[in-house]
Chains A and B, each alone.
Chain A
Amino acid sequence: MPANLGLDMIRFLPETILTVVGTLLMVLEGLLGRRGAKLYGNLTLVTLAAGIGAAVYANSYAGPAFGGMLMVDGFATFFRVLVMVVGILTVLPSYHFLAQQDAETAEYHVLLLFSIAGQCLMAAANDLIIVFIGLEISSIASYVLAGYLRDDKRANEASLKYFLLGSFATAFFLYGVALIYGATGTVNLTAVRAALTGTDAPAPVFIGVAMALMFVGLGFKISAAPFQIWAPDVYQGAPTPVAAFLSAGPKAAAFAVILRIFMTSFGSFGAVWEPLVWFSALLSMTIGNFAALLQSNVKRMLAYSSIAHAGYVLVALTARSQVGTAAAMFYLAAYALMNVGAFSAVTYLSGKGERYQNVEDFAGLSQKQPLTAAMLTIFLLSLIGVPLTGGFFGKFYIFKAALESHLVWLTVLGLLTSAVAAYYYLRVLVMMYMKEPSDAVAAAEPLSPGLRAALVLPAIGTLVLGIFPGWLLNFAGRSASLVK
């Protein structure tokens, strides 16, 4: 084992970097206080970029680490890079946001880094206990982030709600882990798989209960119905860049865990969990898309939309195939870009104290801020699923995988709910382009460089994924074959 320590450390490098710099930032804050406001942000950006580099570097030494507790493969690398990209796209609009809310601290960035470190750990975990540790690191940091604006009542509510429900969900997950340990005597995913495929596999009922409990815990993190109730309140109450982060980062990491556990360990029990996921997928798409129709607050609307999008990814999981796993990976990447981008536009407009968050506040944005409006248009069209955007290809791959697995009804119903979804995204477009400017738009300041980057970069990414999706899909396809 010690002989491999160097290799293990390389495979664990991204998490190490994030944690070390996070700790360093805490010290720096004590020394510099608010004078270092810009420095904290810049340092976080550099760290995340270094983390991405480390993840890619670690991928060239792919393999298990720490006695099989971590598994660094293409799949893990994909999600590590994804959550760190989400992190970068969260930090970029935060410069503007924190300055505007008069709340520039290093604490914000530290929490963000720790949360991302937890998500990286989840992405690479090959052991249920490591999954749990990663989940907790990620969650506890994000509970605090949700309530970062201490004086804001809504943020407090969001934080408390997220914390209480989240702890409950984690307990469910842990309960499931305990049952699995009881049944198989191991928490290592590969070993669990071996224990479950043999002739002396434990009773399906027992495993079924364990799987259901774990799905409850993870379903909460991805805000899949019927565990979605927290999402609208938390997204609405949390600071907007944090809401963007919550809607993409923890979700992607939790999906990585779900895909790995359900496709690896529980692969042989597919027939048992498929109806469960089928039902949850349909319910998420329906509840998400129909409830979003009624929302007037854009953050709430995006929250419901993110529930629906979790449903689409669950459709890919229901397909129970490598194509499905690859489709889910592609979709999560496309979704992260378009959703975080859309939230950045909300960050830009909402103003001090986050006053302007209603759909009406977007009225006339195209006349005052054509660039912001155009970028938001790209994100919304992508969320609708119009061709030449990443969202369209994501949906296309998911439903293609579903049809390959003969999930005809799920496909048809899913596509129909996605047509319903067009209505609420269009409402924002209508406001931006077809109405006279609102107070919010009139009061909006010029775009800061950070926000400009937070809008333009994901927009470019969305278009690239929409026009040349091949490279990412290839990578996802190759990585997906490792998860089994």
Chain B
Amino acid sequence: MNLLTVVLLLPLVGFLVALAVPRSSEGFSRCWAMGVSLATFLVSVALPFRFAHGRAWDRFTVDLPWIASPEIHFHIAADGVSLWLVLLSTLLTPLCVLISWHSISSRVKEFYAFLLLLEFGLVGVFIAQDLFLFYVFWEVSLVPMYFLIGIWGHERRIYAAVKFFLYTMAGSVLMLAAIIYIYNRTQTFSYPALVGMLASGRLAFSPAEEMLLFLAFFVAFAIKVPLFPLHTWLPDAHVEAPTAGSIMLASVMLKMGTYGILHFCLPLFPGAARQCAPWIATLAIIGIIYGALVAMVQPNLKKLVAYSSVSHLGFVVLGIFSFTQMGLDGAVYQMLNHGISTGALFLIVGLLYERRHSLAIADYGGVATAAPWLSTAFLMTTLASIGLPLLNNFVGEFLVLQGTALAHFNWTAWAAIGVILSACYMLWMYQRVFYGVAGDEVRAHVSDLKPREWAAVIPLIAMMVWMGIHPQSFLPSVGRATARVLDQTSINVQFRVEARPPAHTLTEVARAR
């Protein structure tokens, strides 16, 4: 029973207890969810401090046999990437509880129970080291999100929830087939064992085999990311979900896809991954530009943020398939950044909706005069989201673009258009919503941040600044994990981001090409 197990199991215990709470004691349900998620977060904060250097997947390993035949283990461990994604999940869950305090008034008990179950599933996805266990968590996280969207969402919630479930399900059954296939070949589900077998040459897939397995995994992940053209479930799900659902969906669930690509697709099927890289990068770039262009013309706030996610996640995928150290570091950093800043965007949009009961940009205007602090918080988030230096997204986008440039300069040139466009649509949206003359409705209903809302907003803004000013708190452990991934894709990159002799850069350029 180590720290990581506690972080994983606390939400599960919380969920089970929450189910037993009588329906009438809504206050207790809220407090219980708050207490459990906060405790989980506090425990998880200790993780980075205990995260010693060394072999990456040895950290916090728990490996217990679960089912004898086929051999399935309860095998969890954290590496430098999953560590931060776990923290992201545990940070956002209590904030989601806070933000739903008053806005969720029907079936309170179930709402918080599902939120805790979701946290359990998400944390599990990021730390499972057994392919089977990974699939279990992957699917388990689907169920609570389905209910969160379907029960507490807006008008078209049912359509959105079913679409979300079916898209993910369709992708994941193929992944299940691939997982079973791998097991039949190797008699193991253990990720470290598979990687070891591949490295030692005891396991080698034929090119056709590798390509099909890669695609089976990749499609499941690409739907979750979502990569253009598999993104159509995302705007629906985001717009219809309640605020907490949108936050968890955008900030953490989408990362399941990119994490999966990084953690499974690249190390297990390096040949196929490199072969497909130009195609995938093309789709990512189309996603970046298309997402930004569509976001620009959205009349609906949530839809705008949703499409901006498509654009931002395109950067992550692009960074991963640049096959450079910086690109991968940037991709992971961008995963975390997007979690923080888009989480904050959805959070504040949710606050606006609670006040004005509308998501249409046209219904706003002049919010800055009515609610100056709320506007300031939103401005910070907007600036972070468009990549202003000293705020978090800048670091991630810069690394991705730099890493991509080392490999393929023309990819960078296209992707950079997305950066410009993001400034356009975000600032234009900010102008329309917050500046101008406040209408009667806005003046009457839009009040400034309350203490509870401050408590939800401040941690996120603090993170934006911290991650923007001092990325070195996070990048070294990320770098070790991504360096290993690169290593497994048979490019040995020796240098680190912080110390980069030019000679090595040239070698890397040569290798990447």
A365, chain B: closest CB distance, angstroms: 13
Is A477 a contact partner of B67 (Cβ separation < 8 A)? Answer: no
4 smallest beta-carbon distances between A and B, as pairs = A387-B136, A415-B173, A419-B170, A434-B150
Within 8 A of A (CB), among B176-210: 176-177, 180-181, 183-184
- In the complex, given contacts A388-B140, A403-B177, A423-B162, what are 7 additional A-B residue pairs having Cβ atoms less than 8 angstroms apart? A396-B176, A403-B180, A408-B181, A426-B162, A426-B165, A430-B161, A433-B147
Is A474 a contact partner of B69 (Cβ separation < 8 A)? Answer: yes
Within 8 A of A (CB), among B139-190: 139-140, 142-143, 146-147, 150-151, 157-158, 161-162, 165-166, 169-170, 173-174, 176-177, 180-181, 183-184
A380, chain B: closest CB distance, angstroms: 11
Is A415 a contact partner of B174 (Cβ separation < 8 A)? Answer: yes
Is A387 a contact partner of B147 (Cβ separation < 8 A)? Answer: no
A208 within 8 A of B: no
Q: A366 vs B109: C-alpha distance in the bound complex, in angstroms?
A: 12
Is A474 a contact partner of B184 (Cβ separation < 8 A)? Answer: no
A461-484, CB under 8 A of B: which get 1 and which 0? Answer: 000000011100110010000000
A462, chain B: closest CB distance, angstroms: 14
Cβ-neighbour of A477 out of B23, B69, B170, B173 (below 8 A): B69
Cβ-neighbour of B169 out of A411, A412, A419 (below 8 A): A419
Is B173 a contact partner of A419 (Cβ separation < 8 A)? Answer: yes
Q: A386 vs B142: C-alpha distance in the bound complex, in angstroms?
A: 9
Chain B CB within 10 A, most for which of A367, A416, A430, A468: A430
B68 within 8 A of A: yes
Known: A419-B169, A434-B151, A470-B67. Contact between A396 and B180, CB under 8 A? yes
Cβ-neighbour of B151 out of A396, A408, A433 (below 8 A): A433
B70 within 8 A of A: yes
Kindly report which residue of chain B lies nearest to residue A370, judged by CB atoms.
B23
B135 within 8 A of A: yes
* Chain A residues in 8 Å Cβ range of B150: 429-430, 433-434
Chain B CB within 10 A, most for which of A384, A419, A426, A433: A419
Chain B CB within 10 A, most for which of A392, A411, A426: A426
Within 8 A of B (CB), among A367-404: 367, 370, 381, 384, 386-388, 392, 396, 399-400, 403-404
B138, chain A: closest CB distance, angstroms: 8
Within 8 A of A (CB), among B117-136: 135-136
What are 19 A-B residue pairs whose CB atoms fall within 8 Å in the complex? A381-B143, A386-B139, A388-B140, A400-B180, A400-B184, A403-B177, A403-B184, A411-B177, A412-B174, A415-B177, A419-B166, A429-B146, A433-B150, A470-B67, A470-B68, A470-B69, A473-B67, A474-B68, A474-B69
* Chain B residues in 8 Å Cβ range of A138: none
Could you list which residues of chain B lie within 8 angstroms of chain A, going by C-beta atoms?
23, 67-70, 107, 110, 135-136, 139-140, 142-143, 146-147, 150-151, 157-158, 161-162, 165-166, 169-170, 173-174, 176-177, 180-181, 183-184
A344, chain B: closest CB distance, angstroms: 21
Is B177 a contact partner of A399 (Cβ separation < 8 A)? Answer: yes
Known: A386-B143, A430-B150. Contact between A423 and B166, CB under 8 A? yes
Is A430 a contact partner of B158 (Cβ separation < 8 A)? Answer: yes
Is B67 a contact partner of A469 (Cβ separation < 8 A)? Answer: yes
A280-323, CB under 8 A of B: which get 1 and which 0? Answer: 00000000000000000000000000000000000000000000
Kindly report which residue of chain B lies nearest to residue A421, judged by CB atoms.
B169
Is B177 a contact partner of A412 (Cβ separation < 8 A)? Answer: yes
* Chain B residues in 8 Å Cβ range of A399: 176-177, 180
B427, chain A: closest CB distance, angstroms: 37
Q: A412 vs B219: C-alpha distance in the bound complex, in angstroms?
A: 14
* Chain B residues in 8 Å Cβ range of A408: 181
A338, chain B: closest CB distance, angstroms: 16
B125, chain A: closest CB distance, angstroms: 12
A418 within 8 A of B: yes
Q: A468 vs B139: C-alpha distance in the bound complex, in angstroms?
A: 18
Is B162 a contact partner of A430 (Cβ separation < 8 A)? Answer: yes
Is A387 a contact partner of B139 (Cβ separation < 8 A)? Answer: yes
A334, chain B: closest CB distance, angstroms: 14
Q: A384 vs B143: C-alpha distance in the bound complex, in angstroms?
A: 11
Is B184 a contact partner of A418 (Cβ separation < 8 A)? Answer: no
B492, chain A: closest CB distance, angstroms: 35
A142, chain B: closest CB distance, angstroms: 34
Could you list which residues of chain A lie within 8 angstroms of chain B, going by C-beta atoms?
366-367, 370, 381, 384, 386-388, 392, 396, 399-400, 403-404, 408, 411-412, 415-416, 418-419, 422-423, 426, 429-430, 433-434, 468-470, 473-474, 477
A467, chain B: closest CB distance, angstroms: 9
Known: A370-B23, A386-B143, A419-B166. Contact between A400 and B136, CB under 8 A? no
Known: A388-B136, A433-B150, A473-B69. Contact between A422 and B169, CB under 8 A? yes
* Chain B residues in 8 Å Cβ range of A434: 150-151, 157-158, 161
Q: A420 vs B23: C-alpha distance in the bound complex, in angstroms?
A: 34
Is B173 a contact partner of A416 (Cβ separation < 8 A)? Answer: yes
Q: A375 vs B165: C-alpha distance in the bound complex, in angstroms?
A: 20
Is A422 a contact partner of B166 (Cβ separation < 8 A)? Answer: yes
* Chain B residues in 8 Å Cβ range of A418: 173
Is A387 a contact partner of B158 (Cβ separation < 8 A)? Answer: no
A463, chain B: closest CB distance, angstroms: 12
Q: A473 vs B70: C-alpha distance in the bound complex, in angstroms?
A: 10
* Chain A residues in 8 Å Cβ range of B183: 400
A421, chain B: closest CB distance, angstroms: 9
Q: A170 vs B23: C-alpha distance in the bound complex, in angstroms?
A: 53
Q: A419 vs B167: C-alpha distance in the bound complex, in angstroms?
A: 9
Q: A422 vs B177: C-alpha distance in the bound complex, in angstroms?
A: 17
* Chain B residues in 8 Å Cβ range of A396: 176, 180
* Chain B residues in 8 Å Cβ range of A469: 67
* Chain A residues in 8 Å Cβ range of B169: 384, 419, 422
Q: A140 vs B150: C-alpha distance in the bound complex, in angstroms?
A: 45
B58, chain A: closest CB distance, angstroms: 27
Q: A392 vs B169: C-alpha distance in the bound complex, in angstroms?
A: 13
Is B184 a contact partner of A404 (Cβ separation < 8 A)? Answer: yes
* Chain B residues in 8 Å Cβ range of A473: 67, 69
B285, chain A: closest CB distance, angstroms: 29
Kindly report which residue of chain A lies nearest to residue B65, judged by CB atoms.
A470
Q: A49 vs B407: C-alpha distance in the bound complex, in angstroms?
A: 70
Kindly report which residue of chain B lies nearest to residue A466, judged by CB atoms.
B136
Q: A418 vs B177: C-alpha distance in the bound complex, in angstroms?
A: 12
Q: A404 vs B187: C-alpha distance in the bound complex, in angstroms?
A: 11
Kindly report which residue of chain B lies nearest to residue A416, judged by CB atoms.
B173
Q: A470 vs B23: C-alpha distance in the bound complex, in angstroms?
A: 36
Q: A110 vs B136: C-alpha distance in the bound complex, in angstroms?
A: 43
* Chain A residues in 8 Å Cβ range of B107: 367
* Chain B residues in 8 Å Cβ range of A370: 23
Q: A218 vs B224: C-alpha distance in the bound complex, in angstroms?
A: 43
Q: A433 vs B139: C-alpha distance in the bound complex, in angstroms?
A: 19
Q: A51 vs B388: C-alpha distance in the bound complex, in angstroms?
A: 75
Is B170 a contact partner of A416 (Cβ separation < 8 A)? Answer: yes
Kindly report which residue of chain B lies nearest to residue A427, judged by CB atoms.
B162
Chain B CB within 10 A, most for which of A408, A412, A433, A477: A433
Q: A426 vs B184: C-alpha distance in the bound complex, in angstroms?
A: 32
* Chain A residues in 8 Å Cβ range of B161: 430, 434
Kindly report which residue of chain B lies nearest to residue A402, judged by CB atoms.
B180
Kindly report which residue of chain A lies nearest to residue B67, judged by CB atoms.
A470
Q: A426 vs B161: C-alpha distance in the bound complex, in angstroms?
A: 10
Q: A430 vs B158: C-alpha distance in the bound complex, in angstroms?
A: 7
* Chain A residues in 8 Å Cβ range of B166: 419, 422-423, 426
Cβ-neighbour of A387 out of B69, B140, B174 (below 8 A): B140
* Chain A residues in 8 Å Cβ range of B184: 400, 403-404
Chain A CB within 10 A, most for which of B67, B135, B183: B67
* Chain B residues in 8 Å Cβ range of A430: 150, 158, 161-162
Kindly report which residue of chain B lies nearest to residue A399, judged by CB atoms.
B180
A427, chain B: closest CB distance, angstroms: 8
Kindly report which residue of chain A lies nearest to residue B147, judged by CB atoms.
A433
B272, chain A: closest CB distance, angstroms: 17
